[in-house]
Amino acid sequence: MSKMDIEQQNQLIKEAAAYLLKKIKSHYGSDDGFQPQALIICGSGLSGISKRLSREQKPMSIPYSEIPGFKSGTVAGHSSELVFGVMNNTPVVLMKGRLHGYEGHALHETTFPIRVLHQLGTVKTLIVTNASGGLNRKIKECELVCLNDHISLPGMTGNNALVGPNFDEYGPRFLAISDAYDFGLRKLLFQKHKELGMERKLHEGVYAHVSGPTYESRAESRFLTSLGADCVGMSTVPEVIVARHCGWKVLALSLITNVVVLDPPSSVFAENPESLTAGKADHEEVLRNGLKASADVERLLEEVVGHL
């Protein structure tokens, strides 16, 4: 992206923010009638979080297609709309449907909504959810992982969300992300998990970010495990980086929707070869398991949001 492109992006960001502020004023009655404190990005099968918004305080949905500069998603399990509302007495905005690089979107397009919402002036926290594959064998299907770090293979090989001229008015050229996942928010998540008496296990771990859209090969999965990754997915990290560039706090929660195959394939000389299809991942499984655990994710995040 050139300097001219950055200027055009900044103009588009401001146009989109002005559009949202106009819609907020129309819906809630004044410029300061609704001031969202947090953005919640809903991962695959987890958009039911919107059911936790107060019906009495008039949620407002805006399709991405109506917002200047917003792209629409194409993946099953992701709708394409912003939803403004109040959750547990806290004004929030939900992204029901995220954008992915593998859909053909540039990273500045997938993270565009974060910069737009930053322009509203009140959003200071990102709560990001995702469906991911389990690498750590101590973490089972349909369990939860609070992210405390990440490994981004695309980012380490030149496809970082901040590549190109810097958005100077948002953050520094060289951004430290060793503190990307806020300690206080992680502690709050575990506290609320305990208070709710939730049977579904909550772990802490490292997320491996890959570009997709193919699921990882067996050898790639063993490689990621050797690097210290506990789960793997195709999103989240670009959003986290841009949110941190904006100075937001970040909480990230992964739902393990499938256990990744790690064992090497059977040798052609094996007398009793194992099936290559055993444990094979598919998107329908991701969505099914997302639905199984969605109620717990919704309850947990509702409690966290109430204490921001």
Residue 286 has pLDDT above 70, yes or no: no
The two structure tokens encoding residue 145: 């992982």
pLDDT tens digit sequence for 204-221: 999 999 999 999 999 999
Distance CA 226, CA 185 (A): 28
17 labelled binding-site residue: no
Alpha-helical (H) ranges within 98-234 are: 107-110, 112-118, 153-156, 183-195, 218-226
173 labelled binding-site residue: no
118 labelled binding-site residue: no
Q: Which residues are catalytic?
A: 44, 78, 100, 102-103, 131, 234-235, 258, 283
- 56 Cβ contact list (under 8 Å, min separation 6): none
136 labelled binding-site residue: no
pLDDT tens digit sequence for 74-87: 665 557 899 999 99
Question: Looking at the domain that runs over 33-263+277-306, which CATH code has it been given?
Answer: 3.40.50.1580
Strand partners, 96: 42, 81
Question: What would the mean pLDDT of 28-34 be, rounded to a whole number?
Answer: 76
Question: What would the mean pLDDT of 76-104 be, rounded to a whole number?
Answer: 88
- State the pTM of this model: 0.92
Distance CA 228, CA 241 (A): 20
Domain ranges of the chain: 33-263+277-306
What b/e readout covers 163-184, taking b as 16+ CB neighbours within 10 angstroms?
Answer: ebebbeebbeeebebeebbbee
Say whether the peptide bond before residue 213 is cis (omega within 30 degrees of 0).
yes
The pLDDT confidence band at residue 187, using thresholds 50, 70 and 90, is very high
